[in-house]
Amino acid sequence: MSDVTVDLLGMKLQNPTVLPSGILGESLGMLEEAAVKGVGMLITKSITMRPREGYQGPTVIEAVPGGLINAMGLPNPGVEEFAKTYKPKMSGVPVVPSLYGNSVSELRVLSLAIDRLDPPAVEVNLSCPHAGGSSRRKLVAQDPALTAQHIGAVASTTDVPIIAKLSPNVTDIYEIAAAALFAGASAISAVNTFSAIEIDGHFERPVLGNFIGGMSGPAIKPLALAKVTEISLAMRDGRLEEAPIIAYGGASNGEDIAKFLLIGATAVGLGSAVYKRDVDIFSESTDELKVWMKEKGYDDIPAFRGKALEWLESEETPEYGDEAPEDSAFVNMQSPLPKPSEDESEEGEEEDEEDLDEDVEEDDLDEEDLEE
């Protein structure tokens, strides 16, 4: 039987599945259900100092197949109410509070209040793309200095492990990860949603009540894989200190979990996919992961964690051909496109050159026109 247990920040998870923040809303009852149904770790809805009502609807839409855009507005009861019902464990599953602060000082006070609840760890949401309403203001996780200040504030108030939740809406995510780890984070979670807007063609306006939102779901999986890969590669190449990565972004079954583990994640969130497969997704996906591991001959997760990174060696890239399974879509993508016959390609080139000459003449005309 494959061993799918995971050691994460001193916690022993029964499997690598995680319920990402906000997916089941504010109700702790829903979290309890996910715990009973076999999730490895729970993250609460992001909690703020004061209650937040959230934005007016629509707050969640399916903009493309498998791609949700949400702008909930971080609705939550505030830390005082949260503290009354919070439990560090539910049915033996660790419950990690997610913290959101409007400023460094607010985050510090919030973190102090949460520390008194004795959580197993805290996740700091530095990356909600719509927390500032429709203002499109800069996110904390888009700036290394702001990231370090926010994580530093939490680190100064608590001894529990800090997970820094990063944004994919940056060029070099590992630089933000470096700032978070430097300032006291013990793990990175990535990614939050991608900034997104959908426009209603009929009413000629943004669809969401908040106008702008964040995209999640299977449609973002390859993008999230790329962002997590960037962090993993930086750790492997010594540009970033080693730390566990909790991966979020489009995973919806056991093989998706395997894919994130193959690029170096330690645990993997199943978020938007819960809306399609319900909370049973956690135990079902764990079973699917076990089947995948058995087929591949892996006894435990460390046996293959980070294995796909080998293909991304900076100095020596393996040849694809013989090593990839013959039936994989990946191989098909590698097969060269049929080449046009030499005569055809030469004709094509001549035509293109003629077109180019015409373009140049037209350009010359334009310039003359302008001079006139």
Ligand X SMILES: Cc1cc2nc3c(=O)[nH]c(=O)nc-3n(C[C@H](O)[C@H](O)[C@H](O)COP(=O)(O)O)c2cc1C
CB-CB contact of 33 with 282 (8 Å): no
> Closer CB to ligand X, residue 102 or residue 317?
102
- 125 binds ligand X, rule: CB under 6 A: yes
Q: CB 366 → ligand X: shortest distance, Å?
A: 47
**For residues 137-172, b (16+ Cβ closer than 10 Å) or e, as one string?**
eebbbbbbebbbbbbbbbbebbebbbbbbbbbbbee
> Closer CB to ligand X, residue 218 or residue 298?
218
DSSP state of 115: H
- 249 binds ligand X, rule: CB under 6 A: yes
Nearest to 358 by CA among 372, 371, 350, 346: 350
Stretch of 8-16, 103-111, 203-211, 214-222 lying at the interface with ligand X (CB under 6 A): 214-222
- Write the binding mask 283 to 322 for ligand X: x where contact by CB under 6 A, - elsewhere: ----------------------------------------
- Specify whether 121 is catalytic: no
Indicate the helix (H) or strand (E) that contains 363. Answer: helix 342-371
Q: Which listed residue (128, 154, 261, 265) is catalytic? A: 128
Q: CB 293 → ligand X: shortest distance, Å?
A: 21
CB-CB contact of 266 with 228 (8 Å): no
> Closer CB to ligand X, residue 230 or residue 298?
230
Amino acid letter, 162: I
- 192 binds ligand X, rule: CB under 6 A: yes
CB-CB contact of 262 with 305 (8 Å): yes
Nearest to 21 by CA among 180, 136, 190: 190
- 142 binds ligand X, rule: CB under 6 A: no
**Measuring CA to CA, how many Å separate 81 from each of 28, 53, 119?**
12, 14, 16
Please tell me the total number of residues recorded for the chain in this structure: 372
> Closer CB to ligand X, residue 215 or residue 233?
215
For ligand X, the binding residue among 15, 17, 48, 70 (CB under 6 A) is: 70
- 60 binds ligand X, rule: CB under 6 A: yes
For ligand X, the binding residue among 235, 269, 289, 305 (CB under 6 A) is: 269
- 23 binds ligand X, rule: CB under 6 A: yes
- 20 binds ligand X, rule: CB under 6 A: yes
Binding residues with ligand X: total (CB under 6 A): 28
Place of tokens 């900076």: 314
Question: Dihedral of the CA atoms 318, 322, 325, 331 (nearest 10)?
Answer: 80
For ligand X, the binding residue among 248, 260, 282, 298 (CB under 6 A) is: 248
Question: Dihedral of the CA atoms 73, 79, 85, 90 (nearest 10)?
Answer: 70
Which residues are known to be catalytic?
Answer: 128
Summarize as ranges the residues that interact with ligand X (CB under 6 A): 20-23, 45-46, 60, 68, 70, 72, 74, 98, 125, 128, 165, 192-193, 216-217, 220, 248-251, 269, 271-273
